[in-house]
């Protein structure tokens, strides 16, 4: 998996959580570029649990708004690109079953690097801001 950091979370979806009032589990971390998200749902949910990944309350995965991932004993990886990089990630879910179920999520993230400018052919001294001479008074002469 691409990335410099693995940010791991276990999002527990409580039993008896209706789809009309899903729970939101914060999986936030500092601002990073997320290259991929690996997920795993152990066996046992039997189609009674649905989950999605959101950022700041906005649904990211699955892409179609209002839909859910409904998985049982499965895992996978979402490759991402050109998403916002706020770090405000969340797992939202419902669970109409009698037992809690967990979605394990690993964000493969990298630190945002500042844009590097190409080297300048001019010496740095020539690129420094010039002093504002318009406010300068008359020249000061040294005393002999």
In the sheet that 89-95 helps form, which strands lie side by side, from edge to edge? 23-26, 89-95, 49-55, 58-61
Q: DSSP alpha helices (H): ranges in 50-120?
A: none
Report the C-alpha gap between 1 and 6 in whole angstroms: 9
Tell the CATH superfamily of the 5-112 domain.
Cucumovirus coat protein, subunit A (2.60.120.530)
The answer to whether residues 51 and 103 touch, using CB atoms and an 8 Å cutoff, is: yes
pLDDT tens figures, 42-63:
999 999 999 999 999 999 999 9
pLDDT tens figures, 91-109:
999 999 999 999 999 999 9
Could you tell me the CA-to-CA distances from 66 to 16, 22, 58, 139 in Å, in that order? 20, 12, 10, 73
Q: Is the full-model pTM beyond 0.85?
A: no
């Amino acid at each position: 998996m691409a990335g410099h950091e693995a940010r791991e979370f276990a999002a527990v979806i409580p039993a008896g959580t209706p789809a009309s009032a899903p729970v939101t589990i914060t999986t936030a971390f500092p601002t990073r570029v997320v290259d991929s998200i690996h997920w795993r749902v152990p066996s046992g949910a039997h189609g009674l649990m649905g989950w999605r990944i959101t950022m700041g309350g906005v649904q990211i995965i699955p892409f179609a708004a209002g839909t859910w991932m409904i998985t049982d004993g499965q895992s996978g990886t979402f490759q991402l690109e050109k998403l916002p990089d706020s770090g405000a990630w969340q797992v939202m879910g419902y669970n109409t079953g009698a037992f809690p179920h967990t979605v394990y999520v690993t964000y493969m993230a990298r630190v945002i690097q500042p844009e590097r400018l190409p080297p300048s052919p001019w010496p740095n001294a020539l690129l420094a801001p010039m002093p504002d001479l318009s406010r300068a008074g008359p020249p000061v002469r040294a005393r002999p």
